[in-house]
Amino acid sequence: MLTNSRQKARRILIADDDPVIRHMVTRFVEMEGCQAVVAHDGGAAYRLLQSDANFCGAIFDMVMPHIEGIDLMRFMRTEKRLMRIPVMMITSEKDLKLLANSFAAGVTIFLPKPFTTEQFQSTFRLLLNQQTEQPCH
Amino acid sequence: MSLTHTELAAVDLAVLASYEDAQIEGEPDFVVELIDLYLDEVPRLFDSLHTAIQNNDSTTAKRAAHSLRGSSGNLGVLQIAAIADEFEHLENQCGTSATQLLQSLENEFRRVKEILGAERQKRSR
């Protein structure tokens, strides 16, 4: 059991329209000592990223209504202030071509669904290791 | 195409129990929270599937099945995840097979609700 004394230094953007996965990912991110900034879909994440680039990482669901994870990804890779943010894409997609396209669009790492707590933790730690030298909070 | 997945357990409770590690002292039971979110979300997805089939909207139907597969799989709700997977990969998500699979999903969900409800009650004591 964890205690409730979470360090909230590193901000992580989470975008997922599924309330179950969103709640799970938010908790796992907080367990890693990070602050979760939560968007309920791709559109909300997009609006947030217009004015806030201060993230150490982002976690997107690949399939979301309105704006999908890969569209967010493409947007981030064209914006200088967002380029440095490593992105984890959560997906239950089995289509290899789609996965290849996502890597081409700039996804840092994939986490396939279903995932365990341990699988999330190890993937998330790899994601944070991809941070650039630029500070983030 | 198989409409039943009898080889799978309805719910793998060991998967749910694995999330106990994410419990924070003094906060509501995390597993119960996940169960409640799931039991709220699935009927919404079923509504979306019904409407999509009526409107011959394969994109929305496929998306709803995809979402159902994802959350069910992560909570260990194995049968629903398997049927949703079959639905998602149908050639036509608005045809007769889709309607039959949606019926299978709703039947299975009645069973899942009982199992998760009992689990919820056990954890809320």
Model confidence pLDDT, tens digit, residues B61-88: 999 999 999 999 999 999 999 999 999 9
Poorest-pLDDT segment among A2-6, A56-60, A94-98, A130-134 = A2-6
Q: Chain B contact for A18, CB < 8 A? A: yes
Give the integer Cα–Cα distance in Å for A113 and A60: 12
**Do the chains contact at A18 and B70, CB–CB below 8 Å?**
yes
Using a CB–CB cutoff of 8 Å, tell me whether A60 touches chain B. no
Which of B37, B45, B62 best tests the A interface by mutation, with the highest count of A CBs <10 A?
B37
| A10-37 confidence digits (pLDDT tens) | 999 999 999 999 999 999 999 999 999 9
pLDDT at B4: 52
Cβ proximity of B52 and B94 under 8 Å: yes
Show residues of chain A in contact with B63, CB under 8 Å.
63, 65
The strand pairing partners of A61, in sequence order, are A90
How many residues belong to chain B?
125
Question: Looking at the predicted structure, is the pLDDT value of residue A134 above 80?
Answer: no
DSSP-derived 3-state class of residue B53: helix
Question: What is the DSSP secondary-structure string of B16-29?
Answer: HHGGGGG-BTTS--
Q: Which chain A residues are within 8 Å of B67, Cβ to Cβ?
A: 17-18, 63
Establish if B41 touches chain A: CB-CB under 8 angstroms.
Answer: yes
Q: Is B12 on the interface with A (CB under 8 A)?
A: no
Write the residue in A24, A92, A116 that is nearest to B34 by C-beta: A24
Q: pLDDT per residue over A36-64, tens digit each?
A: 999 999 999 999 999 999 999 999 999 88
Q: Please check whether residue A115 touches B, CB under 8 A.
A: yes
Q: What value of ipTM does the predicted structure carry?
A: 0.91
| pTM recorded for the entire structure | 0.90
Residue with tokens 């994870």: A69
Q: Distance between alpha carbon A84 and the CA centroid of its chain, in Å? A: 13
Chain A CB contacts of B24 under 8 Å are 1-4, 27
**CB of B18 within 8 Å of any CB in chain A?**
yes
Sequence-distant contacts of A77-81: CB under 8 A, at least 24 apart:
A77/A105, A77/A106, A79/A49, A79/A53, A81/A53
Q: Does B40 touch chain A (CB under 8 A)?
A: yes
- What residues of B are in contact with residue A28 (Cβ under 8 Å)? 22
Nearest residue to B90 (alpha-carbon basis) of B104, B106, B74: B104
